[in-house]
């Protein structure tokens, strides 16, 4: 029963934080370190993120079907949409294959991982505040209108999220804002970019960890996957509406406060 509660708790943490610029993986690591939970392995952390990604597919299904039909009809807007998502995904795909072992080692390190997360949360929060104030004049208001260079640069910036605590959504959204993309489009692009990125990461994690997977492990992953999916369904729509009104500063302050508390607690231990 305790194991089930832990799995559900981690699934909720993942579903809430995956699309917020606060680092879902970082929160999973801190949950284990500060709440005294068993150290979650990297495969579990990575695969349950796919549950949250599935929520994007469900919520934006109409948009994806429109793009699919547009591709068949060779619609320029649909082609640009697909091009921009693939270009944004490409850098992290290459970096993920190259750096997989190093990333897994940091995620599973009981002492190094939590400390890196705490520091990354604080630094990332400060950067978000600066970018919010210094972001360029808006030049892009839809994923379809995004220049290919902008998509590729955002993809390179996304690679920073391989550092625990940086936040994949935070890196992509802030990268987009600095390149003149408006808030809502930056958030949506981050959602869309998550689909190939996390599908690739999940496939790689399952393949690399296939010899370690038992029935109990697969059951835990399955439960965490479902919980993160259901929670993410509620979070995504709220997030887009929230940033449209309030921007990203509240998340920056949350990162700074949470990271500072975590750092103090870790140093105390």
* Confidence at 64, pLDDT banded by 50, 70, 90: very high
Question: Please, what is the Cα angle at 251 between 248 and 255, to 5 degrees?
Answer: 140
* Confidence at 71, pLDDT banded by 50, 70, 90: very high
Contacts of 35 (CB under 8 A, 6+ apart): none
Rounded distance, CA 103 to CA 99, Å? 6
Q: What is the mean pLDDT of residues 87-99?
A: 86
The string of pLDDT tens digits covering residues 186-235 is 999 999 998 988 888 777 777 776 676 666 677 888 888 899 999 999 99
Q: Can you give the residue ranges of every domain in the chain? A: 2-268
Rounded distance, CA 224 to CA 11, Å? 4
The string of pLDDT tens digits covering residues 141-170 is 999 999 999 999 999 999 988 888 899 899
* Whether the predicted pLDDT of 172 surpasses 90: yes
The string of pLDDT tens digits covering residues 100-157 is 666 666 555 555 678 889 999 999 999 999 998 887 789 999 999 999 999 999 999 9
Q: pTM higher than 0.75 for the full model?
A: yes
Rounded distance, CA 144 to CA 81, Å? 5
Do the Cβ atoms of 236 and 59 come closer than 8 Å?
Answer: yes
Higher pLDDT, 216 or 183: 183
* Average pLDDT value for the chain: 86
Q: What is the mean pLDDT of residues 69-76?
A: 96
């Amino acid at each position: 029963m305790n194991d089930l509660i832990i799995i559900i708790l981690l699934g909720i943490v993942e579903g809430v934080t995956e699309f917020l610029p606060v680092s879902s993986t970082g929160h999973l690591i801190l949950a284990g370190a500060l709440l005294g939970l068993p150290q979650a392995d990297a495969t579990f952390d990575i695969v349950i993120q796919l549950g949250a990604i599935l929520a994007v597919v469900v919520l934006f299904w109409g948009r994806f079907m429109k793009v699919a039909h547009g591709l068949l009809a060779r619609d320029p807007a649909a082609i640009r949409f697909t091009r921009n998502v693939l270009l944004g995904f490409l850098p992290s795909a290459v970096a993920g294959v190259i750096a997989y072992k190093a990333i897994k080692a940091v995620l599973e390190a009981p002492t190094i991982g939590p400390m890196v997360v705490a520091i990354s949360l604080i630094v990332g929060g400060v950067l978000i505040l600066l970018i919010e104030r210094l972001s360029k004049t808006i030049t892009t208001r839809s994923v379809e209108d995004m220049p290919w260079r902008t998509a590729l640069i955002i993809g390179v910036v996304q690679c920073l999220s391989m550092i625990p605590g940086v936040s994949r959504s935070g890196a992509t959204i802030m990268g987009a804002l600095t390149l003149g993309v408006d808030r809502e489009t930056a958030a949506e692009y981050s959602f869309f970019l998550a689909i190939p990125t996390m599908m690739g990461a999940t496939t790689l994690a399952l393949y690399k960890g296939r010899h370690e997977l038992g029935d109990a492990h697969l059951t835990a992953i399955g439960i965490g996957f479902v919980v993160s999916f259901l929670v993410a369904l509620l979070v995504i729509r709220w997030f887009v509406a929230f940033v449209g009104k309030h921007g990203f500063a509240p998340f920056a302050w949350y990162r700074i406060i949470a990271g500072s508390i975590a750092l103090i607690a870790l140093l105390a231990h």
